[in-house]
Amino acid sequence: MIDLTAAEIARAVSGRLRGVEDPHQLTLTHADTDSRTMRPSALFIAKPGEVTDGHRFIDNALAAGAELVLAERETDDPSGNPHPAVIVDDAIVAMGMLAQEIVTRIKNHSATTVIGITGSAGKTTTKDLLAALLAPEGPTIAPQGSYNGEVGVPLTVFTAELETRYLIIEMGADAPGNIRDLCTMVQPHIGAVLMVGTAHAGKFGGADKIAQTKGELAELATDHVILNADDAQVSAMAERASAPITWFASEPAAEGAYGVAADAVRQLPDGRMELTLVFDQPGKQGQTEFRTTSGLIGAHHVTNLLAAAAVAYRAGVAPSNIAARLDGLGPSSRWRMERTEISWGGQQDAVTIVNDAYNANPESMREALRTLAILSRDNQRRGVAVLGPMLELGEESVWLHHKLGETVVRLNIDLTLVVGKEAYALYRGAIAEGSWGSEVQWVATVDEAESWLRTALQPGDIVLFKSSHSAGLRLLGDKFATEERN
């Protein structure tokens, strides 16, 4: 974090100082909500949470080195002395205000480019790819994991320094106005919208409101807007953009129509994608093309590759460097099409674990299943899908799960295990589509799923784990991925 005094922090968050002898001399260089990361000159943010309350850990944070607390109420140490603190009404709102102050100071100090990325799926993968593309160009900050909301975005900003060249912000939303609020906080120069799907449809109240909210980034990015030409709802955001638009698309179009496109796309036997990146050259004749092979598994990642390439291109990275840096680049965040080979009856008959159970919505479910179908067909191996519920889909949840069950059958997945009562409609959809007997099974719990899999798996299987985060299938996938059976 950039250096800020206690007085400057209090002013930025409209807070009240308590227990600080000289707020103009106390300088803070680190901020976090985790008391375990504290060190000298740190600000501990005592944020109330769903499970516990950060105020309970103030003494621990100060003992670990923190020198100031951002809190919602006054607290004292065991001797009755006031904790050094900035008192605010809402710690999460204050985090956003502090992040906005830091971004403003960084922008005023240096040529930092702030990049916002949003979309119903692919945000974290695109963020990871983009960070790898930009890091050789200068100091680059990107979110840890999927930090993308009102808490995660400030925590990302807090890791930036005055010398930061690129600040990448992943922007998630589960209600209208969320993206606008995050844009107000970080003031993005470049905004990329990946796709509009049905994630969090229940909270939004429908797909149209999702598109309206995601499009807030197109409205508020100041220098460039990066849009997916393959998604009709995203391409319609061009009318809302106030900055120049760069398109990305899965097929080349007329010269100059897109910033970055894909050509001659081919899926390799191991699931990785080989493609030609086509860059248009504004003000120049012709297009520039480079062949590259992704380290990511699945055709759906082509969209993420193109989005990252388009952003990097508009951020000034040479096309040749973009293609070279993408070549062989795999996932850096957990539980996103992670592939692990484990011995199961001998190394020559390994079982392949594909763990994509960080999150799930109908679009990402279909793409993961399509990848499983291709991998099992091309390698003449049995494909096994372990599928949990897709959460936060609202009143259409049962219907969407039912339709996904139909997809499982139409893709000819060899064996499917459906886990959890929220996903039962997926099982019923598969049965209704014509899957009988042992091809599709349902169990109520993750423990039951583990027991069933230990009996059902065979050497040579390719096993996909896919569900929403809280369903816990990612952990079951990890369990199998770290085992070997001889």
CATH number of residue 315's parent domain = 3.40.1190.10
18 within some domain: yes
Note the pLDDT of residue 287.
81
In this predicted structure, what is the pLDDT of residue 208? 84
Identify whether 20 is part of a domain: yes
Same structural domain, 76 and 157? no
Residue with the bigger pLDDT between 205 and 479: it is 479
Domain boundary among 53, 88, 123: 88
DSSP one-letter code for 84: P
Q: How is residue 75 written in tokens?
A: 């607290």
Q: Are 406 and 339 in contact (CB under 8 A)?
A: no
Task: Give the sign of the dihedral formed by CA 213, CA 465, CA 307, CA 396.
Answer: negative
Tell me phi and psi for residue 463, to 5 degrees.
-115, 120
- The verdict on 299 and 398 lying in the same domain is no
Q: Can you read off the two tokens belonging to residue 81?
A: 């002395």
User: How many percent of the chain have pLDDT more than 70?
Assistant: 94
Q: Among 294, 326, 358, identify where a domain stops.
A: 326
- The DSSP line for 230-271 is T-HHHHGGGGG--S-EEEEESS--STTS-SEEEEEEEE-TTS
Three-class SS of residue 144? Answer: coil
The verdict on residue 331 lying in a domain is no
At 188, list the tokens. Answer: 């993005």
Average pLDDT over residues 269-287: 83
Partners of 352 in the beta sheet? 341, 462
Q: Does 50 fall in a domain? A: yes
Q: Based on the domain organization, do 179 and 158 belong to the same domain?
A: yes
Domain end, chosen from 326, 353, 376, is at 326
Q: Please state which of the ranges 9-18, 231-240, 338-347 shows the lowest mean pLDDT.
A: 338-347
What is the residue whose two structure tokens read 């390719």? 462
| Residue 161 pLDDT grade (very low, low, confident, very high; cuts 50, 70, 90) | very high
pLDDT value of residue 207: 74
Residues 417-450 pLDDT 10s: 999 999 999 999 999 998 665 699 999 999 999 9
Beta pairing, strands 113-118 & 166-170: parallel
Asked if residues 246 and 190 have their Cβ atoms less than 8 Å apart, the reply is no
Binding residue numbers for ATP: 119-125
- CATH code of the domain in which 58 resides: 3.40.1390.10
The whole-number average pLDDT for the span 387-402 is 92
Is 442 a domain residue? yes
Exposure string for 321-345, b = 16+ CB within 10 A, e = fewer = ebbebbeebbbebebbbbbbebebe
Copy the structure tokens of residue 151: 């808490």
Same domain, 147 and 190: yes
Confidence bin at 123 (pLDDT 50/70/90): very high
Number of domains in the chain: 3
142 with 190, same domain: the answer is: yes
- What is the model's pLDDT at position 174? 84
Amino acid found at 427: Y
List, as residue ranges, the binding site.
Answer: 119-125
Can you read off the two tokens belonging to residue 372? 């499983």
Structure confidence by residue, pLDDT tens digits, 83-106: 999 999 999 999 999 999 999 999
Q: Identify whether 115 is part of a domain.
A: yes
> Distance of CA 125 to CAs 78, 208, 245, 303, 408, Å?
46, 24, 22, 10, 25
**Whether residues 172 and 264 fall in one domain:** yes
Q: Considering all CA atoms of the chain, what is the largest pairwise distance in Å, rounded to the nearest integer?
A: 75
Indicate whether 316 and 422 sit together in one domain: no
Q: Tell me which residue of 201, 202, 204, 194 sits closest to 227, measured CA to CA.
A: 194
Pair (160, 249) in one structural domain: yes
The pLDDT-based confidence of 282 (bands split at 50, 70, 90) is: low
Examine the domain organization and report whether 313 and 342 are in the same domain.
no
The answer as to whether 62 is a domain residue is yes
Q: Is the pLDDT of residue 147 over 90?
A: yes
179 shares a domain with 156: yes
Q: How many CB atoms lie within 10 A of CB 469?
A: 15
Report the chain's mean pLDDT, rounded to a whole number.
93
| Residue 295 sits in the same domain as residue 168 | yes
- For residue 204, name the pLDDT band (cuts at 50, 70, 90): low
pLDDT of residue 345: 64
Q: Are residues 378 and 290 in the same domain?
A: no
* CB neighbourhood size of 486 (10 A): 7
Helix and strand element counts for the chain (H, E): 16, 22
The SS3 assignment for 422 reads: helix
Question: Locate tokens 């930009």: which residue?
Answer: 134
Residue ranges making up the domain that contains 263: 94-326
Q: Residue 354's domain is classified under what CATH number? A: 3.90.190.20
Q: What is the pLDDT of residue 343?
A: 85
pLDDT band at 393 (very low <50, low <70, confident <90, very high): confident
Q: How many CB atoms lie within 10 A of CB 129?
A: 30
The first and second tokens of residue 361, run together, are: 């919505």
Q: Please indicate, yes or no, if residue 332 is contained in any of the structural domains.
A: no
Task: Name the nearest CA neighbour of 87 among 68, 67, 102, 103.
Answer: 68
